[in-house]
Amino acid sequence: MKFLLKTAIAERRISPPENLLRMSQPKIKRRIGKYEIGRTIGEGTFAKVKFAKNSETGQPVALKILDKDKVLKHKMAEQIRREIATMKLIKHPNVVRLYEVMASKTKIFIVMEFVTGGELFDNIVNHGRMQEDDARKYFQQLINAVDYCHSRGVFHRDLKPENLLLDDAGNLKVSDFGLSALSQTVRDDGLLHTTCGTPNYVAPEVLNDRGYDGATADLWSCGVILFVLLSGYLPFDDENLSNLYSKISSAEFTCPPWLSFGAMKLIARILEPNPMKRITIPEILEDEWFKKGYKAPIFDEKEDTNLDDVEAVFKDSKEHLVMEKKEEQPTAMNAFELISLSKGLNLGNLFDAEQEFKRETRFTSKRPANEIIKKIEQAAKPLGFDVHKKNYKMRLENMKAGRKGNLNVATEVFQVAPSLHMVEVRKAKGDTLEFHKFYKNLSTCLEDVVWKTEEEMKEMS
């Protein structure tokens, strides 16, 4: 499929023991305030995202952790403060919620909604293009979210399928809205001047370095996303960046023949290279193709929002600093962590042999943990990866740069039972599709390590 071949569209851990003796050894468990910290679920330039649980309510959350020294070094403190304060005010059903912010002496902790349905990107990779009704539903939710945030002065600047999550009901949730491009500022002319985002989704005015309006630039990215949903591939793509920028600047694309006239017309009006002539969101809301089956979101914005925690964090108020506590616990994965990994909280799906590809995947093995680590290392090195080991964690770095830099893969071994381990393999950095290709090669090399049921063994014989 062209999308899989062409699309240019974050680290887990490895820790458990290989036998009962090792299982008795303690593992350090972190706690930040009332939150129990679990595995790493994402990683960016300035932040790492951890899975966590509110110990008072049992609610799962995503905890974004920023290093204060990096924030100060890049002179980002005031802008991050404004972004976080604004995001706390945004309570839209199609935007990931920001609950609260905390700080220790060295870190800033942003507590956000944990979304369980995966990325919209994975849906496209696994199933290809969507039917128009399905694509329209997601696009309507995307426009609702973007319109709401723009009305509050918040611009995303890096909209792409990887930043669009799905909840357990299949509803779209925009992530990192207002937090994905923290180093950018608006100059006196009222325009942004930093080129950012994933090249294939970036608007022409962002590339020409003469300043751009965040709202119209976000809308262009929405148009590219709609094209991808309906076609299964990118409207603008080229191995050569100069050629890619030329195609974007002139809006050089062709709609596939299976699109309806209404969809083609709307895409053409959004992917207008002149931002002054580009369709606006109010005009999109009146478009006949867009309006089909449209239901305006109903939600309550009256909930009071307290910004005291934001001010306290950035004033470095000692009385509001949280303590980072470390507790000793067995290395075996507990039920809370196990359930959090399963699809829709259904443990029956946790160890499926045929998993759909995404930026993370996992398999089970009855081999000792040390042997699993050794096998992964032996398989990764011939594929051009440099291997860094720390106990039962590994970080694999491809020595050759890909489309989005060097592919980094993180793995971790968890002990589910004395003789059963679960191995997580996750993209920490680089291109998602390159990770898919790597995992296919890796899985071929690990066929004798992966545990298979008797039924699977019979099917193979």
Active site residue 237: no
Q: What is the 3-state secondary structure (H, E, C) of the chain?
A: CHHHHHCCCCCCCCCCCCCHHHHCCEEEEEEECCEEEEEEEEECCCEEEEEEEECCCCCEEEEEEEEHHHHHHCCCHHHHHHHHHHHHHCCCCCECCEEEEEECCCEEEEEEECCCCCEHHHHHHHHCCCCHHHHHHHHHHHHHHHHHHHCCCCCCCCCCHHHEEECCCCCEEECCCCCCCCCCCECCCCCECCCCCCHHHCCHHHHCCCCECHHHHHHHHHHHHHHHHHHCCCCCCCCCHHHHHHHHHCCCCCCCCCCCHHHHHHHHHHCCCCCCCCCCHHHHHCCHHHHCCCCCCCCCCCCCCCCHHHHHHHCCCHHHCCCEEEEEEECECCHHHHHHHCECCEHHHCCCCCCCCCCEEEEEECCCHHHHHHHHHHHHHHHCEEEEEECCEEEEEECCCEECECCEEEEEEEEEECCEEEEEEEEEECCHHHHHHHHHHHHHHCCCCCCCCHHHHHHHC
Give the active site residue among 67, 133, 134, 158: 158
Alpha carbon distance 451, 323 (integer Å): 41
Find out whether 64 is annotated in a ligand binding site: yes
Alpha carbon distance 322, 101 (integer Å): 10
- Point out the annotated binding site for ATP: 64
Positions marked active-site = 158
